[in-house]
């Protein structure tokens, strides 16, 4: 039995279509990522799965239980970490953890094995009010609280948003270790680079899933050739490239520009050198999830 | 059960770690009582009176003693004839003259009806009325005592009912008012704010996803405030009786259970507000505008209901505060028992059930 | 050498026993895009508030747009623009009303506001949406609009506090186009971000760890110095080294 099954879910808020025909499944012990910017519909989807919202159409099952009919049973089995930091700011780290253990009818001790790795990192601050923790610490505490009742499914809504790269990396390391305990995890993130850390991902934009697959397969399927450009005056390079008739897209990517063209790089580079660009570097680039995402986004917004 | 206790404990942490809330909870009753008690009431104490006693018998002396023994009146001088009355007023420090006609005792016992004359300086009509009211109340009590003593139905003055006239603004009427106001504030406003705070924080999402039943979430949030407000009402009662000598003529038990009932009414209102609003700010505005202002203006606390226009009088009936003030006054001032206050108690109970049912219906097991 | 937009010398802020920023010293040239990176709680926000004249330093010196941050904060505020992810625009006002309001508080004349509004709406291709409430706009558009409004009074320096959080990849890059455009006009950009690829777009970056500046150079030089391929690696090496 698949732990999470989502079938043709629709959700509308007024005139805005928050979710449009969403379907996917998450297998046992799988780390599944919902990748997309704010407003893609990720949080709405989480709330439907956590039995907090009703979908307009479609069906969703968690551990074989229906999210509408069996909501009470599901609530006992899932661990949910909402997008916004949702712990009591005026309670200490320890009090928060203790409280969430008790309301799930368990104790911190009983399931300490599961949270030991994470809790030990924040244990030195256990008497500090949760509101005074740094962003990364808060997320770790929130994860502890979501795990303390040994859930059989974990929903993490944007756990790394607004968190610095170091804490983000630590957080993902923790998720990898949790995966070894065979807990299926559904996680969302707006950071494209985190997609590669998931087993499978769904790329979401404007309430729709644009693609679902493993990250390597998504990249492999992307056939468009990408070239990396660099010169001494990047701003002028962007403008010149975009103005060039052979250039289809041109986006900044770290220290390079990622460019797709209808012609070979030689023709374009010729006109750039003629235009006075110095220090020009042009090389083939490997597409990443972000390249694919942007290409899919453009395909989605352009009327067919 | 353990879940529930843990919930209550957590709620207490919130309350006791938030210094501002604590100040509001405990400072407010004291400040309000003292403010209303000392500053706002037109309470009069130690008014100087003169007595012109033509009768000079045991009963008339008893009456004069009774009047001047109260804290409201001090005996300034004994007059000898009616000619002395105007000069006494003109001196300015005499507020009231009591004239007891000849044969007071005889009329009182034989004809079972005696009259006395109260003269006041009406250049300050408010003070004059208040003094007359006080004197009447004391005379009424005296007459009651004598009636019991002599086993005869005796009358001195017919205006005894003025004691319960709401126009008579004394501290006795402010204590019930302030108590109502504060219980409303603590129970209704604080509950609605504390529940919406969870919504704002996002913790409500986690609580909903937990196995806790909605009933338990609400009860856990509300119980600490029930205890707290009950405790606060006791503080108010003590302040009222120690500082202002507020009497409690009826049963204390009945009084406390009435307070308990009103706490529940206010809480159910608070829960209702919180289930209709999503932010602390809105909850606060709604409680302020929807509960506190009507409580102050329409419940008979500041403005007597009898002198309101008829539509407002009708509106005042739907305010729990109005009924609670009636109950308080009846128990404390008239010494009424459960039978006399059954109607207002029943109304409050009905309102509580109504609000609770509506808010439980409205409480969402989901977010929308 | 070009004139400095920001200079700080041993700028320090203490909260009780806690040193939020510890003697930071750096220079930002006029027209430079300066990336201000650091872990959560490393002291970035505190430093930024001091430079904007919102917080008085405990010790140290700093000049912003040529003005002293102790005594001339009012002058500084006239010359800077500020935008953060959290509070930017009034959601219940329309696009035009927001522009009018911010133009107004910086003392632009009605004519200037009218011209700026037309120009701004045209550049962002928001002509159709001018009378729409801001809350109806997608997040990415709001952020672009917020930036354009932050530079409406032609400030010499703009402070951007995590301006692109949660924004989709295309809009994020369009946002950086706007930054480049302003920088090309000579506006100094002081920006914080958690996207390490965005760090590469900066002319120079500083990385703060525990209240101190641990590294300050061009992205290329930093990567070379730490033997890393990406800024992400540089950041991880530096921030990890603290414990």
Is the pLDDT at B171 greater than 70? The verdict is no
Express each pLDDT in C203-226 by its tens digit: 999 999 889 999 999 999 999 999
Q: What's chain A's Rg over C-alpha atoms?
A: 22
Whether residues C200 and A238 touch (CB distance < 8 A) is answered with no
Tokens describing residue A195: 């997609």
pLDDT at B158: 34
Identify the pLDDT of residue A176: 92
ipTM for the whole complex: 0.84
The answer to whether the CB of C164 falls within 8 A of the CB of C175 is yes
Output the DSSP codes for B296-357. Answer: HHHSSSSS-GGGS-HHHHHHHTT-HHHHHHHHHHIIIII---TTTTHHHHHHHHHHHHHHHH
Residues in chain A: 304
Distance CA A271, CA A256 (A): 18
Provide the 10 A C-beta neighbour count for residue B18.
Answer: 14
Please compute the mean of the pLDDT values over residues C222-238 and round it to a whole number.
91
pLDDT at B163: 31
**What is the arithmetic mean of pLDDT over A125-154?**
91
Mean of all residue pLDDT scores within chain B:
80
C-beta atoms of C236 and A205 within 8 A: no
Model confidence band, residue B165 (pLDDT cutoffs 50, 70, 90): very low
The DSSP H or E segment spanning B136 is helix B125-150
3-state secondary structure (DSSP) of residue C17: coil
Report how far apart, in Å, the C-alpha atoms of B113 and of each of B55, B106, B116, B133, B138 are. Answer: 15, 9, 10, 20, 17
Q: What is the pLDDT of residue B368?
A: 63
Which residues, listed in sequence order, are joined to residue C37 by a DSSP beta bridge? C207
Mean pLDDT calculated for residue range B272-292:
87
Helix (H, G, I), strand (E, B) or coil at A260: strand
A254 touches chain C (CB under 8 A): yes
* pLDDT for C8 beyond 50: yes
Residues of A in contact with B22 (CB under 8 A): none
Residue B162 has pLDDT above 70, yes or no: no
Whether A143 and chain B come into contact, CB under 8 Å, resolves to: no
Contacts across the A-C interface (CB distance below 8 Å):
92
pLDDT at residue B53 greater than cutoff 60: yes
Of C168, C231, C240, the CB nearest to A37: C168
Least confident of A158-162, B57-61, B127-131, C105-109: B127-131
Q: Over 90: is that where the pLDDT of B121 sits?
A: no
Which has more pLDDT, C136 or B148? C136
Question: What does R_g of chain B's alpha carbons equal in angstroms?
Answer: 26
Mean of pLDDT over chain A: 91
| Strand partners for A189 | A35
Whether residue A294 lies within 8 A of chain C, CB to CB, comes out as yes
pLDDT band, residue C2 (cuts 50/70/90): low
d(CA B99, CA B108): 15
Indicate if the pLDDT at residue B172 is higher than 80: no
Cα separation, B115 vs B71, in Å, equals 24
CA of C168: how far to CAs of A190, A194, B39, C177, in Å?
Answer: 8, 14, 63, 14
More confident residue, B127 or B265: B265
Q: Which of A154-158, B174-178, C227-231 has the highest mean pLDDT?
A: A154-158
Q: Contact A188/A217 with Cβ under 8 angstroms?
A: no
What are A258's strand-pairing partners?
A: A228, A251
Domains defined for chain B, CATH in brackets: 2-40+169-362 (no CATH), 47-164 (3.40.1710.10)
Give whole-number Cα distances, A54 to A2, B205, B368, in Å: 21, 14, 8
Identity of the residue in B14, B208, B367 whose CB atom sits nearest the CB atom of A90: B14
CB neighbourhood size of B311 (10 A):
8
Query: Is 50 exceeded by the pLDDT of residue C128?
Result: yes
**E strands, C123-187, where?**
157-161
Helix, strand, coil percentages (3-state) for chain A, rounded to 5, are 40, 30, 35
Domains and CATH numbers, chain A: 4-212 (3.40.50.300), 225-286 (3.30.70.2070)
Widest CA span of chain A, in angstroms?
73
Min mean pLDDT across A202-206, B46-50, B327-331 is at B46-50
List, for residues B201-227, the tens digit of each pLDDT value.
Answer: 888 888 888 888 888 888 888 888 888
Summary mean pLDDT of chain C: 89
Domains in chain C with CATH codes: 4-240 (3.40.50.300)
pLDDT digits (tens, 9 = 90+) for A39-72: 899 999 999 999 999 999 999 999 999 999 999 9
Two structure tokens written together for B29: 């009753």
Contact flag for C and A (3+ C-beta pairs < 8 Å)? yes
B23-50: average pLDDT:
73
């Amino acid at each position: 039995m698949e732990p999470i099954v989502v079938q043709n879910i629709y959700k509308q808020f007024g005139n805005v279509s928050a979710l449009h025909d969403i379907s996917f499944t998450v297998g046992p012990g799988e780390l599944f990522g919902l990748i997309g910017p704010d407003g893609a519909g990720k949080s709405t989807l989480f709330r439907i799965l956590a039995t907090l919202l009703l979908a307009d159409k479609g069906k969703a099952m968690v551990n074989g239980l229906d999210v509408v009919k069996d909501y009470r049973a599901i609530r006992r089995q899932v661990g949910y970490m909402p997008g916004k930091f949702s712990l009591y700011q005026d309670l200490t780290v320890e009090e928060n953890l203790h409280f969430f253990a008790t309301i799930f009818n368990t104790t911190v001790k009983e399931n300490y094995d599961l949270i030991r790795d994470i809790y030990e990192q924040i244990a030195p601050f256990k008497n500090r009010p949760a509101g005074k923790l740094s962003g990364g610490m808060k997320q770790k505490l929130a994860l502890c609280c979501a795990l303390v009742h040994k859930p059989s499914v974990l929903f993490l809504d944007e756990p790394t948003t607004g968190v610095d790269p170091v804490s983000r990396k630590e957080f993902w390391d923790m998720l990898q270790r949790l995966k070894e305990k065979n807990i299926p995890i559904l996680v969302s993130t707006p950071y494209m680079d985190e997609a590669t850390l998931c087993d499978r991902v769904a790329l979401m934009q404007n309430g729709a899933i644009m693609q679902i697959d493993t990250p390597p397969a998504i990249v492999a399927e992307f056939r468009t050739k990408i070239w990396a450009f660099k010169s001494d005056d990047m701003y002028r390079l962007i403008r010149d490239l975009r103005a060039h008739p052979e250039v289809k897209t041109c986006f900044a990517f770290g220290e390079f520009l990622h460019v797709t063209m209808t012609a070979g790089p030689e023709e374009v580079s010729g006109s750039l050198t003629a235009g006075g660009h110095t220090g020009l570097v042009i090389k083939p680039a490997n597409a990443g999830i972000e390249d694919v995402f942007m290409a899919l986004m453009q395909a989605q917004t352009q009327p067919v | 059960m353990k879940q529930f206790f843990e919930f209550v404990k957590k709620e207490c942490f919130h309350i006791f770690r938030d210094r501002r809330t604590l100040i509001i909870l405990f400072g407010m009753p004291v400040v309000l009582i003292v403010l209303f008690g000392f500053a706002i009431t037109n309470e009069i104490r130690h008014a100087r009176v003169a007595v012109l006693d033509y009768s000079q018998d045991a009963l008339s002396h008893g009456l004069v003693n009774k009047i001047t023994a109260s804290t409201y009146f001090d005996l300034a001088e004994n007059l000898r004839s009616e000619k002395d009355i105007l000069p006494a007023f003109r001196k300015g420090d005499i507020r009231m003259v009591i004239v007891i006609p000849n044969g007071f005792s005889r009329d009182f016992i034989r004809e079972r009806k005696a009259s006395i004359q109260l003269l006041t300086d009406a250049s300050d009509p408010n003070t004059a009325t208040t003094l007359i009211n006080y004197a009447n109340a004391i005379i009424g009590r005296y007459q009651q005592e004598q009636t019991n003593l002599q086993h005869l139905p005796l009358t001195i003055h017919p205006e005894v009912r003025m004691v319960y006239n709401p126009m008579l603004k004394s501290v006795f009427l402010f204590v019930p008012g302030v108590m109502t106001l504060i219980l409303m504030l603590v129970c209704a406003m604080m509950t609605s704010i504390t529940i919406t705070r969870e919504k704002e924080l996002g913790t409500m999402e986690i609580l909903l996803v937990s196995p806790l039943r909605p009933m338990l979430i609400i009860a856990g949030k509300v119980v600490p405030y029930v205890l707290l407000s009950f405790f606060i009402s006791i503080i108010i009662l003590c302040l009222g009786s120690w500082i202002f000598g507020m009497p409690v003529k009826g049963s204390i038990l009945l009084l406390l259970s009435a307070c308990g009932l009103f706490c529940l009414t206010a809480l159910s209102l608070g829960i209702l507000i919180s289930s209709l609003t999503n932010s602390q700010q809105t909850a606060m505005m709604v409680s302020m505008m929807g509960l506190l202002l009507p409580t102050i203006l329409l419940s008979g606390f500041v403005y007597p209901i009898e002198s309101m226009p008829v539509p407002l009088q009708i509106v005042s009936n739907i305010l729990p505060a109005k009924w609670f003030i009636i109950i308080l006054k009846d128990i404390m001032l008239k010494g009424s028992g459960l039978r006399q206050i059954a109607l207002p108690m029943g109304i409050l109970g009905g309102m509580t059930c109504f609000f609770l049912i509506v808010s439980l219906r409205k409480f969402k097991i989901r977010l929308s | 050498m070009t004139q400095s937009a920001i200079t700080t010398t041993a700028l320090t802020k203490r909260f009780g026993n806690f040193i939020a920023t510890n003697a930071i010293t750096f220079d930002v040239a006029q027209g430079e895009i300066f990336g201000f990176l650091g872990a959560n709680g490393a002291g970035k926000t505190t430093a930024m508030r001091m430079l904007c004249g919102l917080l008085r330093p405990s010790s140290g010196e700093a000049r912003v747009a040529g003005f002293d941050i102790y005594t001339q904060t009012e002058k500084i505020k006239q010359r800077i623009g500020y935008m953060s992810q959290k509070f930017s625009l009034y959601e219940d006002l329309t696009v035009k009303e927001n522009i009018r309001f911010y133009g107004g508080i910086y003392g632009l004349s009605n004519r200037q506001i009218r011209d700026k509004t037309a120009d701004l709406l045209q550049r962002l291709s928001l002509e159709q949406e001018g009378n729409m409430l801001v809350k109806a706009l997608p997040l990415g558009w709001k952020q672009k609009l917020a930036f354009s409004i932050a530079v409406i009074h032609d400030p010499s320096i703009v402070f951007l506090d995590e301006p692109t959080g949660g924004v989709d990849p295309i809009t994020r890059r369009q946002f950086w186009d706007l930054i480049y455009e302003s920088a090309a006009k000579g506006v100094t950009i002081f920006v914080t971000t958690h996207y390490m690829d965005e760090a590469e777009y900066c002319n120079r970056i500083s990385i703060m760890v525990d209240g101190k500046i641990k590294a300050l150079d061009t992205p290329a030089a930093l990567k070379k110095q730490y033997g890393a391929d990406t800024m992400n690696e540089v950041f991880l090496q530096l921030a990890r080294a603290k414990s």
